[in-house]
Structure 1
C-alpha cells in the first residue's frame, strides 16, 4: 500500500487513544464488518477419528465448527450467469473459464466487462477462499464431493482422459506468492475446490517449462473484502473490527495435537472471558498477510501486532508454526481423522534432499489429528510435505 495512502487512512480513521491500529491491514473504508467470514458449512461434530453424535457441552469436542454456526449460506442465483453472496457482498460468475494462462485472462475479462457490469476482476485469495465449503470430501481421488456449493456454482473435475488427476482443476487468484516455491518456481495462489486446499501454483509448469493453466472465476463488488482492521486492546487481545472477531495476541507457545488444541482453547481464560475457541479454517485464514515474505530476515505472514512463535525447519532454517483450525477436512480412507491448518511460515517440504517451501506461506493443508509415528516431522507425499501433527494454536472469540 502506498505510504501516502496509509497516512491518509490514518488521518481519516482518527487516533485510537493508546490502542494501536495496524495501518497495513486496515479496512480502507473504516466501516466495521466489511469482511464478514462465511461459515465452513460443517454442521456435524467430529472426534479425532470420525463423525460423532452431538456431544454434550462439557465435552472437549463440543466447541467446533458445528457449534459456531452463525453465518449460514445466503447465495442468490440472479438467473444471468451470476451469483450474489449476501454474506460477503460479493458477486460471482456461476461458471469457470476454461483453463487459461495468466497472460490470456485479459481477453475473457474484456468480454465479460462488455456486458451488464464493467467491474469484474480476478479475486484475491481471500475472496476466492470465501466460497469454499468443507462439506466436501476426497477419497484418494476415487470418490469426490466438491468443496463448493454445486447448487449455485459449476465446478469441473480434472480431465482424466488426457492424463490429469480429478483434483487437477484448481482456480487462480490474483494474489502472487512472495517467495519461490520448490526453491525455484515463481508462483501464484489458487484454491482447489476438489480437495479443499490453498496452495501457490507455479506460473510455469515445473517439468515442461510451458505456461501453467488453471481456471478463473471472476468477482465484483465489496472492494473491502479481505482487508482487516486490527486494534491492539493492550490486554493480550487483538480485535479485528472488519471481521468482528477478537484474537489471542500470543499463541500457545507449544505444539499440540488436535484434541489437545481443543482442550487448550477450552481452558483459556483471558481478560475474564472463558468463551475462547479454536478458530474455523476460514477465520484463521483471514489473519494471513500474503504480502509478507518469509525469509531469513522476514516475519511470519501475520500482522506485526501479533506475537508469533518460531519453529525452524529440521535443518535449522527459519520458519514459523502451522496453526490448527477446528475444521475437519474429509480426506483419505478414514474421513474425519484430519483437520485443516494454516501455514503462517513456509509450507515446508523435504524434496530432493533439500528443505523447500512447497506451497507458499499462507497455504491451507491438513494433518492427522493424532500421533501415528514416534518421530515428527515426517516427509509425506510426492513433494515431501512436512507433517508435524503437533501444531500451534491461536484462539478466537466473537465480539459480543
Structure 2
C-alpha cells in the first residue's frame, strides 16, 4: 500500500464544498494554513475549531477567526476541550463529527495547534468520510530550545524551564485507541524520544513492559540535526537500561529513527516492531511523538487494530518559545479517505518476520539528505 507524500500545501480554489477543522493555538504557526490561503475568498463552507478551556498561553483566537472569515466562514462552530479532563473528548468528537462532514467534498484538518490526542481522535472519527482529506501542518522558523541553550544546561536537564514541555500530568486511554488483544502476554512498549523524558518514565511506571523500544526523531532541517542526538541524550538512562533492544550505530546514535516530518518513516518503524514482536507480545505505543509522527501512528493503528496507544500528557508547556514564525505549510492529500482507511488494514493480521519483508518496501519513502 502506498502512502501519499508530504508536500507543499496547495492554494485552493472555491469550486468544492470544504469543511475546515482546526484549533486555536498560541504559536504563530497555528495561523499558518489560513494565512497561506489569504486572498482565496470563499474556499471554505464551514469550520469547526477546538477551543482549549485552560490554554497554556494566549491563543490567537481573534486572528484565526479573522482569517477564516476571509476564507468564507464568519461563524465557526466550536468544540470546548478541557485538557485537564481529556477523557471526555472522544465521545464529544464522535457526536459532533457524526454528521459534520455530510455534504462536504473535502475536509481540511489543520493539526498545527492540536494536541497529539486530538490528532489521533479527529483522524479516527473522520475515518468514514468518503471525500478528500487534506491534512495541513505548518512548520515553525525557530524552535525551543536553541542548541546553545541546550548545551549550556543539559547537565541539569530536569530543572530546565525552556524545554517545549515539562513534567507529567496523566495518561489518557480512549476506546478507539485501545486494544484488549493479548492481555496477560509480555508487553513491548514503543516510545518516541522528545525533550520530555518524564513522559516515557511515567508510562513505564504504569505498564512495566518486557522491553522498551525507542524511536528517535530526526528533524528534516540540517540546522536542527543536533536535536537527534539531544533527544537521545535526554533519554540516555532509559536507553542504557534497555540497551539490548536499542542498538546504536558507529556514531552512537539509535539505529531506530524516523523523520519528525515524514510520517511514512514512522509507519516503517512501527511495522518493523510489529513484524518482529506482534505475534507473541502485546504492542503498546506511547504517543510521545511529534505531530507528524503521530499521524503515522494513527495509520499504524488502523493497519493493526491490536496495537494499543496511550497518550501521556505533559504538565506544562514553554509558551513563549515553543516555536516562532512559519517557515513552510505542509500537506498530505488523501482522496476517498474512508476507502483508503478500509483498504489499509492487513487482512491476514498475523505478524511475522517473513510477512514484514513482503510489505516493508511500500512504506519506506525516498529519503533525501537531512
With structure 2 as the length reference, what TM-score do the two structures score? Answer: 0.28
| Higher relative contact order (Cα pairs below 8 Å, separated by 6+ residues) | 2
Structure ranking higher in helix proportion: 2
